[in-house]
Amino acid sequence: MKYKEEAAYHFQCEPKSMKPFDVCDPFHPQHQLISGFIVKKDGPFGGSLYITHVNCQQLKTPQVVFGTPKLLYPYRKESFKIKEKTGQHPGKLEYSENIIVTKTNHPIKQFILANKWNGTNILFFKYFDANGKLFISAKTKGTPSISDSPQYGDFLGLTREALFGVNLDIPIDLNNPPDCLIDFIKREEVQSICFELCGKKEPHLVLYNFDICLKPLFLQHFTTGYIEPIVNKEDTEVYNLENMEQLTAICENRQIVDYEKNEKYRKEKNLSIRYEYEHFTTEGAVLYLISEVPSKDQQEPICCVSNRKLYKIKPKDIEEVHWEVFGEKQKSLIEIAIKKLKEREKEFSKQSLREELDIGPKEFSKYEEDIITYAQTLVGSSAFNRKSNKNLGTKKLPLTKANKGGKKKK
């Protein structure tokens, strides 16, 4: 079986979703070459890597690097509710507009609400060369590596600054790594560690009181891809799961509390509700549903997310405000969405655009004509088939003058 088909089989997707890559490791002293395939389809394995060669040397066994899963809505979009289906155990939830039921093979014992940091996702991962030597590299959510770009941001430079205090071409020393990577490197069963790169130098929506930082989110395990949240007292809340009513009530209360935080912040700063940088103090929370899974050595069980499903619990001002009208701000959101689709080399369709805009079917339907018309001005009228419904016509995004604009730095 060819590498592409092997990778597709492993990540449960079609071979067309696997794209080849050859990238230089920016954290290796000689910037050695890493080659393989990356999953370009959103979902639990989106952005995952299938490494076949290191420094042009074929690996005896290809290496799997699990990417950062796309965050899902764990409730009906229309009612903002988490619902339990009759007769189902607590390990089955309804989520998103399509009311899909997601399953886990392990009963859920706990749930965790962690602060949703507002920035760029950075994943550090372990890989080995043909001689079995260990190295550490990093990647952004939709790409196989990390780099600086005038179009998307100085992700590599800012990551180096967060790691080492300065933006210098410094390799990661496994014997003396940065503090935030020590536990990840020591634990042999852990394959990767996920961070959010955020701060004043990487502005999105939330204004932070620090320049730049790598905020730890979770660890991922070799082979299984189990997700182990990184818990700390400052920004995570841990609950024992009693039933869905309890989970629903706590999540809804978190939405109210975060909304009130944002309202208080805007009142103090004399700001209106606008979907713009410096108008929010929090983006909400991430929900982890935790199971106890037997460990490989049969000692202590692993407390983790076993089905790779993570959920976003956002306050209503984050959810709703940016699609109350269609104006210049909405156009800028479309521009950002198209840049992300281009950066991740994703197919362009009505569905992919709506998912990247992160809006529900009701809002999209209301402004569909405006959204598609403006999107066509950026990527060309032939890039989108407006009449297609079930069979959405797709086309790769060209890099045109209209979507070459760089990210605004505040």
What is the per-residue pLDDT across 12-29, written as a single tens digit (0 to 9) for each? 888 888 999 999 999 998
Contacts of 194 (CB under 8 A, 6+ apart): 68, 121, 122, 123, 216, 217, 218, 219, 220
> What pLDDT does residue 2 have?
87
Q: What is the pLDDT of residue 376?
A: 84
How far from 382 is each of 59, 379, 393, CA to CA, in Å?
42, 8, 10
Binning pLDDT at 50, 70 and 90, where does residue 407 land? Answer: very low
Inform me whether the pLDDT recorded for 127 exceeds 90. Answer: yes
- Arithmetic mean of pLDDT over the chain: 81
Instruction: Categorize the per-residue pLDDT at 297 as very low, low, confident or very high, splitting at 50, 70 and 90.
Output: low
Give the residue-averaged pLDDT of 347-352. 78
pLDDT digits (tens, 9 = 90+) for 25-57: 999 988 999 999 999 887 789 899 999 999 999
Task: Work out the average pLDDT over 365-384.
Answer: 78
Which amino acid does the sequence have at 324? E
pLDDT at position 390 = 38
Query: Phi, psi (5° rounding) for residue 107?
Result: -55, 140
- Give me the percent of the chain exceeding a pLDDT of 90: 45
Looking at the predicted structure, is the pLDDT value of residue 342 above 60? yes
**What pLDDT was estimated at residue 340?**
76
Per-residue pLDDT reduced to its tens digit, 71-114: 887 755 433 334 333 333 333 334 333 333 345 668 889 999 99
Is the pLDDT confidence value at 345 over 50?
yes
pTM > 0.85? no
Place of tokens 């014992």: 109
What value does the mean pLDDT take over residues 129-140? 96
pLDDT at 248: 85
**pLDDT the model gives residue 53:** 96
Q: pLDDT tens digit string along 218-253?
A: 999 998 899 999 998 889 999 999 988 888 889 889
**321 band by pLDDT with thresholds 50, 70 and 90:** low
Looking at residue 389, its pLDDT comes to: 37
pLDDT at 396 over 80: no
pLDDT at 10 over 60: yes
- Find the mean pLDDT for residues 201-216: 92
